[in-house]
Amino acid sequence: MASSNVVHAAFPKPLTEDASRSYTLPARYYTDPEIFELEKERIFFRTWQYVGHKSQVAKPGDYMTATIVDQGVFVIRGRDGALRAFYNVCQHRAHELLQGSGNVKAVITCPYHAWAYAPDGSLRSARNCEHVQGFDKSDFGLKPVRVEEFCNLVFVNLDEDAMPLAEQAPNLEASIRDFVLNYDDLVFTGTSTFGDDVMQAGWKVVVDNYVECYHCGPAHPAFADMIDMACYKHTIDGISAFQLGPDTKPENSAYDFKADDPIQRAAFWYLWPTTTINIVPGSVSVNITHIVPRSPTTTSFVNDRLVVAGEAEDEARNAYLFDLLGHEDQLLCESVQRGLMSNAYDQGRFIVGPEVDGQEEHVVHLFHHMVKQALDGA
């Protein structure tokens, strides 16, 4: 731990609880591989990470894989209906077991030497193991990972002692359901990325950008034409935050929607540390946009779309979100990441007022403070 404390030392200027007096995280926190290593241990391996929608693992044997920075995991529905998660590594000589998503009929068979595991993680067979002295199959079961369904979404946590997500974010599900009345009818329909598959910006730059709309007027003219920025609102609630655009315009320069479409408002939820959920006007469609850190300075911002089963997607809206808006944000984030390498920048300030106003940076401050607390080991 001594080395961690050196890596994460006192800041030149204070990052305080009072946003109006606080400075931002120092630039080194966005560039230093040692900070990223500390974030793995103290943030990513201790928090709930989104994997997919429960409809993707509805039937016995259905599975989906995910990577938590450098830790492969998979989630699988057992024959008994229970959802389980495991590290995605064979206990023989460490080949990965499953790729992507799909369904295993009876056992999970390792592609390397065909050790076979039951969906409950127990080792069923290890070819030719009869003469291996002291070999006990029960010593080589898969290593389990915590898994939970929350708001019909599947999350995993590498910390076996983690507090359940529903306790950590007690109001989030009700907030989402208030906006999407037929939420239980939604199914997974496809994956896209905001911007390129991998953007040249670290995960914290991407979160910083998502949780404020101070930039929306200057940097997203079509978005600001559709959503009245003067009424934009922010709410902070524990480890989650919420942005609401209550006033929108059906004819605008982003994409058109109808005045009687079921979704008329724009709503953006953020769940510490890497999950975002959003809806924008038009037909019912929920975007689960999760931040996948690839390295200290690269990220994938991956979007799973949920729509009502059998309903067509709005291609014009998707084109606006993933091509135009996503690339606008990508360019912003990549420019910031380059700027954070500048010898002429270290810590900035948060633009905040006495209230949590929609065009301010209260949530960026919340996020920086949570990162600091997590790295402090708090």
Q: Minimum distance from CB of 127 to ligand FES (Å)?
A: 8
Among 95, 143, 258, 338, binds ligand FES (CB under 6 A): 95
Token pair for 365:
């401050």
- Is 79 a binding residue for ligand FES by CB under 6 A? The answer is no
Which of Fe ion, ligand FES, none lies near 329, with the C-beta cut-off 5 to 8 A by kind?
A: Fe ion
The residues of the shown chain that bind Fe ion, judged by CB under 5 A, are 329
- The structure tokens 């946003």 sit at 19
* DSSP 8-state code for residue 282: B
Q: Minimum distance from CB of 263 to Fe ion (Å)?
A: 19
Stretch that binds ligand FES, among 1-9, 92-100, 214-222, 303-311 (CB under 6 A): 92-100
Q: Which helix H or strand E contains 216, and what residues bound it?
A: helix 216-219
Q: Of the candidates 220, 314, 213, 215, which has an alpha carbon nearest to the alpha carbon of residue 263?
A: 314
- Residue by residue, DSSP assigns 297-365 as TEEEEEEEEEEETTPPP-HHHHIIIIIIIHHHHHHHHHHHHHHTT-TT----B----SS-BTTS-HHHH
Token pair for 168:
């950590």
Q: Minimum distance from CB of 160 to ligand FES (Å)?
A: 24
Token pair for 23:
């400075």
- Is 113 a binding residue for ligand FES by CB under 6 A? The answer is yes
Nearer to ligand FES, 95 or 143 (CB): 95
- The structure tokens 């979160």 sit at 207
Among 13, 79, 93, 338, binds ligand FES (CB under 6 A): 93
Nearer to ligand FES, 115 or 214 (CB): 115
Nearer to Fe ion, 121 or 326 (CB): 326
- Is 115 a binding residue for ligand FES by CB under 6 A? The answer is yes
Q: Answer for the pair 360, 224: CB distance below 8 angstroms, yes or no.
A: no
Nearest residue (beta carbon) to Fe ion: 329
Nearer to Fe ion, 52 or 195 (CB): 195
**Residue 371 zone, left/alpha/beta (φ > 0; ψ -120 to 50; rest):** alpha
Three-point CA angle 306, 307, 313, nearest 5°? 115
Q: How far apart are CA 346 and CA 59, in angstroms?
A: 51
Among 25, 68, 90, 271, binds ligand FES (CB under 6 A): 90
Q: Minimum distance from CB of 122 to ligand FES (Å)?
A: 15
Nearer to ligand FES, 1 or 94 (CB): 94
* DSSP 8-state code for residue 199: B
Q: Minimum distance from CB of 91 to ligand FES (Å)?
A: 8
Provide the 3-class DSSP secondary structure of residue 213: coil
Stretch that binds ligand FES, among 42-50, 80-88, 91-99, 314-322 (CB under 6 A): 91-99
Amino acid letter, 149: E
Q: Minimum distance from CB of 310 to ligand FES (Å)?
A: 40
- Is 207 a binding residue for ligand FES by CB under 6 A? The answer is no
Binding residues for ligand FES, rule CB under 6 A, total 10
Q: Answer for the pair 329, 194: CB distance below 8 angstroms, yes or no.
A: yes
Phi, psi of 153 (to 5 degrees): -110, 150
Stretch that binds ligand FES, among 110-118, 144-152, 172-180, 317-325 (CB under 6 A): 110-118
- Is 75 a binding residue for ligand FES by CB under 6 A? The answer is no
Q: Which helix H or strand E contains 167, and what residues bound it?
A: helix 165-168
- The structure tokens 């959003």 sit at 278
Q: Which of residues 138-197 bind ligand FES (CB under 6 A)?
A: none
Nearer to ligand FES, 13 or 93 (CB): 93
Cross-strand pairs, 233: 244, 357
Phi, psi of 159 (to 5 degrees): -90, 110
Q: Minimum distance from CB of 357 to Fe ion (Å)?
A: 17
Q: Minimum distance from CB of 134 to ligand FES (Å)?
A: 18
Q: Minimum distance from CB of 152 to Fe ion (Å)?
A: 26
In the complex, which residues of this chain contact ligand FES (CB under 6 A)? 90, 92-95, 110, 112-115
